[in-house]
Amino acid sequence: MANGARPRKLSIPGEDLLIDSTQFLELQDLPDDILFVGGGYIAFEFANIVAAFGVKATIIHRGELPLENFDNDLVKMLVKSYEERGIRIVLNTNVKSISKENGRLLIHAIQYGKEATFSTSLAVHSAGRTADIDDMGLEKINVVTNKNGVAVNDYMQSVSNENVYACGDANDKGLALTPVAVKEGIIAASNLLKGNRIKINYGHIPSNVFSIPPLAMVGLTEEQAKKNNFNYTVNFKETTNWYSSRRLNEPVSAFKVLIDKKTDGILGAHLLGNNAEETINIFALAMNNGVKAKDLKKTIFSYPTNASDVVYML
């Protein structure tokens, strides 16, 4: 099974008035204003696109900060840069229903405990995706599922039906990233054809938001490191005035790197700025191969590149 994902059901009246990301990409024309329900990857990437064409973009998110899996300090900087470019970000606001009146959509919500209504020409579902397995009748063939998808073991095999394998967004591993799906698919196909011989080993997987500027991460956030009682140091700095950012007129850039005081291993790396989506792979490579911070710091990178800044982050 490799069914992919669909927009997560919101279970609110009028949610059928929302368009999904596929429909968004098929738009022939853009309205004057667009509202995104949910502050995740889709909202932050698409809001950039429409704002560049002069569309008034609004992102509504139910939590205190959007992009909840990323570092809070870097997200705050990204939010500020969005707002300075005219993208409205509304937080602590839970959408309760959607209606249509006089050709416009009305987004009815609860904001800080009070009722609030937002009017827009078009609303986009950007509140996450879930495994697209609901209409497959899996219960009839004894395939156990949960809120994330088909329950599988490390062979990508169903825990309840040995004849079924599931990979990518269809399983319950919860790692909805394209390169993860590719790796899982290769392992699932091999085990299906040759018997269970290969287990998945995810290692440290980088993740990116292709915002402007891009946001990237690998490993633990500071909150996770605290929760797990790591003894670590934090290297955190805004780098907007660094040459690598100034030469490109980058609106904002920053980094946060967590280093284990005992082992000198890198626990997590978080980047905001130009080429963050590429530079994060250096940290992922180091973490997956046990390269210590002091050894990575000795590396001479080509210059001027964003990768050459890595030695100043450690």
Q: Which fold has domain 207-312?
A: Enolase-like; domain 1 (3.30.390)
Per-residue pLDDT, averaged over 259-274, amounts to 97
pLDDT band at 176 (very low <50, low <70, confident <90, very high): confident
Q: Is 291 exposed, middle or buried (0-12, 13-18, 19+ CB in 10 A)?
A: middle
CA angle 266, 270, 271 (to 5 degrees): 130
Per-residue pLDDT, averaged over 47-70, amounts to 96
CA distances from 175 to 180, 183, 291 (A): 7, 11, 24
Arithmetic mean of pLDDT over the chain: 95
Which residue from 135, 193, 134, 185 is spatially nearest to 156, judged by alpha carbons?
185
C-alpha span between 200 and 235 (Å, rounded) = 32
Residue 174 pLDDT > 80: no
Residue 302 pLDDT > 80: yes
Residue 43 contacts residue 59 (beta carbons within 8 Å): yes
What are the pLDDT digits (tens) for 113-159?
999 999 999 999 999 999 999 889 999 999 999 999 999 999 999 99
Which residue has 């440290």 as its token pair?
204
Put simply, whether the predicted model's pTM sits higher than 0.85 gets the answer yes
Longest dimension (CA), the chain: 64
Per-residue pLDDT, averaged over 163-183, amounts to 91
Residue 249 pLDDT > 90: no
Per-residue pLDDT, averaged over 36-55, amounts to 96
C-alpha span between 9 and 127 (Å, rounded) = 9
CATH of 5-129, one of 3.40.50.300, 3.30.1130.10, 3.50.50.60, 3.60.15.10: 3.50.50.60
Looking at residue 276, its pLDDT comes to 97
Looking at residue 183, its pLDDT comes to 95
pLDDT band at 175 (very low <50, low <70, confident <90, very high): confident
What are the pLDDT digits (tens) for 74-90?
999 999 999 999 999 99
* Minimum mean pLDDT range among 33-37, 50-54, 186-190, 245-249: 245-249
Instruction: Give the residue extent of every domain in the chain.
Output: 5-129, 133-194, 207-312
pLDDT band at 297 (very low <50, low <70, confident <90, very high): very high
Looking at residue 299, its pLDDT comes to 94
